[in-house]
Amino acid sequence: MTYTGLGVYQQQPPKPPNRAPLWIALAVVAVLVVGGGVTAFVLLNSGDDRAAPPTTTSTTSSPEPDWQPVDDSQAGVAYELPPSWESSGAGASGRIRLTTSYVSRPFQCQGRSMIQAQAAAGSVIDDDPEQVATELVNRIAAGGYTVNGAAPEIGEPRVEPTDDGVRVSVEVTPKSANACYAPKATVSAVALRNGSEVSVFVLNVAEGGPHVAEGPSEDDVKRILGSVRLS
């Protein structure tokens, strides 16, 4: 089947030999708007040519030893991820510059190296965290889960105020799938006011499907989103 939501990367670096791109279980997570079109914001690969991630350091309130703390000083946020997640570079989603990106443990399906989830963080000059978070989750959901030219069904954003910002999430149901792909996904973002900017963290998780065990559990998702804070 032709899957137009994947595999076309603009502005991608040369691929090293013997390295295959990673594919999320239904689509690449974030998107970059270029000349009115939509494409993946970063080539998810495990090659040595990927962008170097910001330094990962422990914070004052250290997480459990089996989780990795990430302190993205460029985005102005810190968060925690499962130990098996790998750094995958940086990129952009529309006007939002994403400075860190991590992917869940890769797996193989029909000759492709795939993933079930991806997390990214970034920032933008703005004074409205809810608008930034809503814009980001909708762009990722629409651009990442379009299959064979058919846009997915995107639910109404769920908005939850937090102590120092807002959390926005949308449910995504693509119009088509195959044996490798999950039947639905949830895209969530936590946006925090940070001076003249909004710092934002986004988590895209493919839900269900034959490889659901390769991604985060519901408890993992809650812990990841609950760990997001200003750095």
Q: Which two tokens stand for residue 9?
A: 């990367």
Q: Is residue 194 part of a domain?
A: yes
Token pair for 153: 């069904």
In a domain, 12, yes or no: no
Q: Is the pLDDT of residue 97 over 50?
A: yes
Q: Can you give the pLDDT at residue 24?
A: 56
8 domain residue, yes or no: no
Q: State the pLDDT confidence band at 62, using cuts at 50, 70 and 90.
A: low
> Higher model confidence: residue 106 or residue 202?
202
* Mean pLDDT of the chain, nearest integer: 76
The reply to whether 125 falls in a domain is: yes
Q: For the chain, what is the largest distance between any 2 Cα atoms, rounded to a whole number of angstroms?
A: 49
* For range 23-52, the mean pLDDT: 34
pLDDT of residue 226: 94
Cα–Cα dist 77/70, whole Å: 8
- Please give the average per-residue pLDDT across 47-68, as a whole number: 48
Please state the pTM of the whole predicted model.
0.74
**27 half-sphere exposure, CB direction, 13 A CA radius:** 35
Residue 46 reports pLDDT greater than 70: no
Residue 221 lies in a domain: yes
User: Residues 83-111: what's their mean pLDDT?
Assistant: 89
CATH of the domain at 224: 3.40.1000.10
Q: What is the pLDDT of residue 61?
A: 53
Domain for residue 198, yes or no? yes
Q: What's the pLDDT at 65?
A: 54
List C-alpha distances in Å: 155 to 134, 149, 152.
Answer: 12, 19, 10
Total number of domains constituting the chain: 1
- Strand spans (E) along 41-164: 68-72, 77-81, 86-87, 91-93, 96-103, 107-109, 112-115, 117-125, 153-154, 158-161
Residue 33 has pLDDT above 90, yes or no: no
Kindly report the number of other CB atoms within 10 A of residue 170's CB atom: 21
Q: What domain range includes position 200?
A: 22-47+67-230
pLDDT band for position 147 (50/70/90)? confident
Q: Which is more confident, 36 or 203?
A: 203
Q: Kindly tell me if the per-residue pLDDT of 36 is higher than 80.
A: no
**Residue 215 is assigned to a structural domain of this protein:** yes
Inside any domain, residue 58: no
Q: Give the model's pLDDT for residue 218.
A: 94
